[in-house]
């Protein structure tokens, strides 16, 4: 069974649009923490948050509260920096996913270059291993990057599905073929295969035949769908779509 991880960053984006500067006596809303717990009660298997260095959406306090409420189901996306590593080691979430960051981007635009960063990533991954934190690398479906993940002894890769998700119906099979090859390569190297970015109810069915798929992490589209049907129903709709495989 493919698992569903819900990224709640965009709930915090909505909050920050109004409450980036605190208003005395006003409780900022929506609060992503009870929303995360609602997602889990609706059947989501994990919660993902990206604590960006510019703190544009999720804030430190959000992550700390999530750590208290659902640490064993918390996946922390973060840049590979000493400051974020220290934060993760104090928080001790179930999983850490290293992702690239560019402050000019609207959202993550591509996979981490693990090949170029292999020397800096190695000690960080070792420290997380020692703390019993599962480590994932958010990677493009590039064989060199999968090999780098194996060299780093990363137990999980999350394949970047953005190009697949945004492709036209005629171009999508080409991008799927790259994802399939990367998934098979990772599985052969005994690496767990997750995937995410740009996934929507309208394109999920084309991805579900990806071999060895363990978890799909979905955020913006699930939150957008929730505006129409409610957050709990949105989670259930995505779970239903995934189980149609």
Kindly report, residue by residue over 28-37, the tens digit of the pLDDT. 899 999 999 9
Kindly report, residue by residue over 219-239, the tens digit of the pLDDT. 999 999 999 999 999 999 999
Planar angle of CA 130, 216, 210, nearest 5 degrees: 110
Residue 23: which pLDDT band, with cuts at 50, 70 and 90? confident
Main-chain dihedrals φ then ψ at residue 77, nearest 5 degrees = -85, 140
pLDDT of residue 115: 97
pLDDT of residue 107: 58
Q: Is the pLDDT of residue 109 over 80?
A: no
The model carries a pTM of: 0.94
The stretches of 136-171 forming alpha helices (DSSP H) are 143-151, 162-166
pLDDT of residue 215: 98
Q: Is the dihedral of CA 16, 30, 66, 75 positive or negative?
A: negative
* Alpha carbon distance 14, 50 (integer Å): 15
Catalytic residue ranges: 50, 77, 197
134 forms beta bridges with 95
Kindly list the structural domains of the chain, giving each domain's residue range(s) and its CATH number in brackets, ordered by start: 3-243 (3.20.20.70)
* Alpha carbon distance 84, 47 (integer Å): 18
pLDDT of residue 245: 55
**What is the percent of the chain with per-residue pLDDT over 90, rounded to a whole number?**
89
Q: Is 190 exposed, middle or buried (0-12, 13-18, 19+ CB in 10 A)?
A: exposed
Residue 195: which pLDDT band, with cuts at 50, 70 and 90? very high
């Amino acid at each position: 069974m493919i698992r569903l991880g819900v990224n709640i960053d965009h709930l915090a984006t909505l909050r920050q649009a109004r409450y980036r500067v605190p208003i005395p006596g006003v409780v900022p809303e929506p609060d992503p923490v009870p929303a995360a717990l609602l997602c889990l009660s609706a059947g989501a298997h994990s919660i993902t948050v990206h604590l960006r260095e510019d703190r544009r959406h999720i804030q430190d306090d959000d992550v700390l509260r999530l750590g208290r409420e659902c640490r064993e189901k918390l996946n922390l996306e973060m840049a590979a920096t000493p400051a974020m590593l220290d934060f993760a080691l104090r928080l001790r979430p179930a999983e850490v996913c290293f992702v690239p960051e560019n402050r000019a981007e609207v959202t993550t635009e591509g996979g981490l270059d693990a090949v170029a960063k292999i020397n800096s990533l190695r000690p960080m991954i070792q420290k997380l291993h020692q703390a019993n934190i599962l480590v994932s690398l958010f990677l493009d479906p590039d064989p060199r990057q999968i090999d780098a993940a194996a060299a780093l002894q990363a137990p999980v890769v999350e394949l970047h599905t953005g190009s697949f998700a945004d492709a036209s119906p005629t171009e999508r099979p080409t991008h799927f073929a790259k994802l399939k090859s990367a998934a098979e390569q990772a599985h052969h190297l005994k690496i767990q295969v997750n995937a995410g970015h740009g996934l929507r109810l309208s394109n999920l069915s084309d991805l579900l035949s990806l071999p060895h798929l363990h978890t799909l992490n979905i955020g913006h589209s699930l939150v957008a769908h929730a505006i129409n049907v409610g957050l709990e129903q949105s989670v259930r709709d995505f779970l239903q779509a995934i189980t149609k495989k």
